[in-house]
A = this chain, B = another copy of it.
Amino acid sequence: MTADADTVARTSADAMWAEDGASRGMGMSLDAVGPGRAVLSMTVRADMVNGLGLCHGGYIFSLADSAMAFASNSHGQAAVAQHCGVTFIRPGRAGERLTAEATERGRHGRQGIYDVRVTGEDGTPVAEFRGHTVTMGKRPA
C-alpha cells in the first residue's frame, strides 16, 4: 500500500461521493477510505424505523452496500455489486449511529470479494455482509 494507492482511493471516493446522492440522502458520512477499505456511518432516522423503533433491514444493507462500493472502487476502476449476502444479528435502533467497515477479502480477475461488518454505537455487531463485485472497465463515478 503506497501513497499512490491511497491517493487513487481518495480520488475515486471523491468522484463517487459527488455522484452518490442516494447515500448522502440516507445521511451517510464517509469516515475513511483506503486501498480495498472504507468506513461509512449513518444515524438511524425516524423515517427508517417501524413502530417499535427498529431499523428496516434495507437501510442496514444499504450502509453495508455503500461501504463495499467505496472499498471496491478504491483501486481506480469502477466496480459494481453482483451478489451480496447479509446476516442480521441484532436490530438497529432509532437514533443509533451505525458504522460499516468494509475490507477486501480478495480480488481475482474482474471479481472482488468484500466483507462488511456493521456495528452499533456500543460496538456490538448489527450485521455481517459479504459481497461480490465485478469491475466495469472504466473509472469510478
What residues make up the interface of A, taking CB atoms closer than 8 Å to B? Answer: 18-23, 25-26, 46-52, 55-59, 61-63, 65-66, 80-90, 105-106, 108, 111, 113, 115, 125, 128, 130, 132, 141
State the Cβ distance, A111 to closest chain B Cβ, in Å: 8
CB-based contact A47/B21 at 8 Å? yes
CB-based contact A85/B130 at 8 Å? yes
Task: Tell me how many chains of this kind the complex includes.
Answer: 4
Cβ contacts A to B, 12 pairs, < 8 Å:
A19-B51, A19-B52, A22-B50, A22-B55, A22-B59, A56-B66, A61-B62, A83-B87, A83-B132, A85-B85, A89-B106, A105-B128
In the complex, which of the residues A57, A59, A128, A132 has the most CB atoms of chain B within 10 Å of its own CB atom? A57
